[in-house]
Structure 1
Amino acid sequence: MTRTRYAPDRGLTSRMVTTMFLIGLLYVVLIGVLLAAFQNAWPLVLLFTGGLFVAQFWFSDRIAAYSMGAREVSPQQAPELHAAIDRLCALSDLPKPRVAIADTDVPNAFATGRSQKKALVCATTGLLRRLEPEELEGVLAHELSHVAHRDVAVMTFASFLGVLAGTVTRMALWSGMMRGGGRNGNNQAQILFLIIPLVSAVVYAVSFLLTRLLSRYRELSADRGAALLTGKPSALASALTKVSGQMAQIPTRDLRQAEPFNAFFFAPAFSGNSFSKLLSSHPTLEQRLEQLGRISRELGR
C-alpha cells in the first residue's frame, strides 16, 4: 500500500485482520462443501467462483456510484469541494480522487474505488448545504481515510462470501428441482439437496454478521485517521452530530432508497429497522463521539 500520512491504528487493524481471517476461513469451508457436492465439475466451480469475485471486485464501486446518482464535477462546478479535497490530499500525500456530487437531500458522503488511483469521493447536496467548511473537511478526511486504507476493496472481499453463499443456495435448489427434488435420485443426492442450502444459509448468516463487525471497525478507524490528520476531532464530531440529527428530518422514502449503500456512507441512513447494534454497518453515534473525545484530549495534552 502506498504510504500516506494517515496515522495507523494497530488496535483496530488487528481486529480487522482477525475478522478478515474468520471470513476467509468461512470462504474456504464453503468452497470445500461446493467441491464435495460437485466433484465432477470442480473446474467449473472454481471458474465460476473466481469470475464472480473478480466481477464484484471490479464493478461494485461503479454500481454503487451509479445507484446513488453520483455525477463527477469539475473544479469550476464545485470549487469549494475540490479545494477541500486538494488540501487534504496534499496533507495526506494521497493522489487526488475523482470528485462527485449526488443530488439528494440525505446528508451524507461516500468513497468508492478498488485502489487509490481509481477512487471517487462523493458528497450529497444535502451534506454540502448543512455543514460548515471545517465540518465538511472532517467528513472528507474520513472518506479519504477509507481510500488510503483501501477499505472498499476490503469490504468487497468480505461481502463476496455472502453473495457466493446465496448463489450456491440457488444453484443447489435449481439442481434439485432439475432432478425432481431427488425423488428419482439416490439417497446421496437427497442428502446433498438438504445439506448444501443449509450450509450456505449458515455461512451467509455468519459472514453477514462478521462483515457488519468489520464495517464498524473500519468506520472507527476512518474517524480516528481523519481526526488525527486534520487535528480537529471536534469538527468531525460536530459533523457527525449534525448529520445524525438531520436524518430524522429526511423523508422515509429517501432513507430507504439510500439504506442499501450504508456500508459506503459516512453515517448510516436509517429507515426504522436498522437500529440494532448487531446488524448496523456503523458504530453508534455515542461510540464515535467517545473516541473523538479521547483523541481531542490526547491532542490537547
Structure 2
Amino acid sequence: MWINDRELKFRMLVTMFLLAVVYLTFLTLLAALGVNFGFLILFALLFMFLQYYLSDRIVLLSTGARIVDEGEAPELYRIVRELSSRAGLPMPRVAIINTEMPNAFATGRNARSAVVAVTTGLMKTLSRDELEAVLGHELSHIKNHDMAVLTFTSVISTLAFFVMRWAMFMGMFGSRRDSGGSAVLLFVVSSLVWLISFLLIRALSRYREYAADTGGALLTSKPRSLISALMKISRKMDFVGKEEKARVEGLSAFFIIPAVSGKTVLSLFSTHPPVEKRIERLERLAEEMGW
C-alpha cells in the first residue's frame, strides 16, 4: 500500500525547482564571465559518477558493515525478503555492522545493487515489529530512488565547489590584476551557489526522510512501531560515545537517525528532520489510517 503525499511532493518539487534556478543562473554567469566550464562540468560529472557507482562499497567499507547470508541472519533475511516482495523490489543484500550504536541504512545506486544494513545494537534494542518498521523505512529509500535523486541534484553543487576552489587559487596566485578581479567575483558567485545549493539539498534530504517514514509505515501497516523505534533509537543514541559517532559522522545522511558528535557543523545543517516532527507526522498518519 502506498500513499500520494501531495504536500510533501509539492515541497520536494519546489526545492528541486529552486535548485534548477540556482544552477542555471550559475552556469549563465560562468558563461558571461568567459569561463570555459566544459572541463569542470566533465570533472564534476566524473567525480559524482564514481561516487554514485561506488557508493555501496564506500559506505560498507567506511562503516565496517559485513554482508551476511541467510544462514547467519535468518530472521533478518525473512523480514527483508517479505518487505521487498510487498514493495515490488528485488531482494537486496543484507549487511550487519558490529557496533552497539542502534542504527540502520540503505545504499546502492539502484534497486538491483542495493544493500540494507543494520547494527547489532539495533537488533538488540528493537522488537521484531519495530525492526520491521525500520527496515520498511530503509526499503522505501530504495523504492523512491533517493540515492539517485540526491546524487543528480548534487552535480552542479559539486561543480560550484570546484570552481570556488579554483577561483580562490587564481585569486591568490593570478599574475594579472584584471584576472585577479575576475577570480574574486567568480569566487563570491560560486561560494553563494554552493552555500544555497547545500542548504536546498539538505532540505530535500529532510523531505525524503519524511517520505521514507511514510512509505515504511504503510509498507508494514505499523506506523506506531516506527514511532516507538525512532524514540528508542534516538534515546539510545544520546548515550553513544562522541568518538563512536565521530567515526561515522560523515555518513549520517544514510542512517535512520543521524550520528552527530556535536563537534562539527553537521549538527547545524542536518540531513534529517527532528525526531519530534517525524513522530508528529506518523501520529497523524496512524490516526488517518485508523491504526
Q: State if a TM-score over 0.5 links the two structures.
A: yes
- Residue 247 (str. 1) matches residue 264 (str. 2): no
> In the alignment, what sits opposite 1:262?
252
Report the Cα distance in structure 1 between the residues aligned to 2:46 and 2:93, rounded to whole angstroms.
Answer: 27
Q: Deviations over 1:191-217 (max 9, x none)?
A: 211111111111111111111111111
Whether the aligned pair in 2 keeps the contact of 1:99 and 1:121 (CA below 8 Å) is yes
Q: Select 2:29's aligned residue among 33, 39, 43.
A: 33
Is 1:100 the equivalent of 2:90?
no
Give the Å deviation of 1:276: 8.8
Q: Name the SS of the counterpart of 1:76 in structure 2.
A: coil
Q: Aligned partners of 2:203, 2:96: CA distance in 1, in Å?
A: 28
Is the contact between residue 6 and residue 226 of structure 1 (CA under 8 Å) also seen in structure 2?
no
- Summarize the alignment of residues 171-210 of structure 1 with structure 2, pairs less than 5 Å apart: 171-180=166-175, 185-187=176-178, 189-210=179-200
Query: Aligned ranges for residues 1-301 of structure 1 at < 5 Å?
Result: 5-39=1-35, 41-180=36-175, 185-187=176-178, 189-272=179-262, 279-300=269-290
Aligned pairs, how many? 291
Q: 1:44 to 1:276 in 2, by over 3 A?
A: closer
Comparing 220-229 with 277-286, greater Cα deviation is found at 277-286
User: 1:149-192, CA deviations, whole angstroms, 9 ceiling, x for partnerless residues?
Assistant: 00111122233343322211111223344533xxxx142x1221
1:138–1:235 Cα contact (<8 Å) kept: yes
CA distance in structure 1 between the aligned counterparts of 2:17 and 2:57, rounded to whole angstroms: 27
Q: In structure 2, what is the Cα distance between the partners aligned to 1:104 and 1:173? A: 41
Query: Residue by residue, what CA displacement relative to the aligned partner does 1:53-77 show, whole Å, maximum 9, x if unpaired?
Result: 3233323343222211222111011
Matching residue's letter, 1:194: V
Deviates more, 1:133-142 or 1:202-211: 202-211
Cα gap change, 1:62/1:276 in structure 2, threshold over 3 Å: closer, same or farther?
Answer: closer
Superposition misfits of 4+ residues, deviation over 6 angstroms: 274-278
Name the CA shift for 1:216/1:42 in 2 (closer, same or farther; >3 Å). closer
**Structure 1 116/7 Cα, relative in aligned 2: closer, same or farther at 3 Å?**
farther
Please give the alpha-carbon distance, in whole angstroms, between the structure 2 residues aligned to 1:275 and 1:242.
25
> Percent of counterpart pairs with the same letter?
43
Contact 2:174/2:180, CA 8 A, preserved across alignment: no
- Deviation of 1:38 after TM superposition, in Å, equals 4.8
Within 2, Cα distance between the matches of 1:59 and 1:32?
31
Alignment RMSD, CA only? 2.1
SS in 2 for 1:291: helix
- Structure 2 residue identity aligned to 1:7: I
Instruction: Pick which of 60-69 and 219-228 moved more.
Output: 60-69
Counterpart CA distance in 2 for 1:300 and 1:273 is: 42
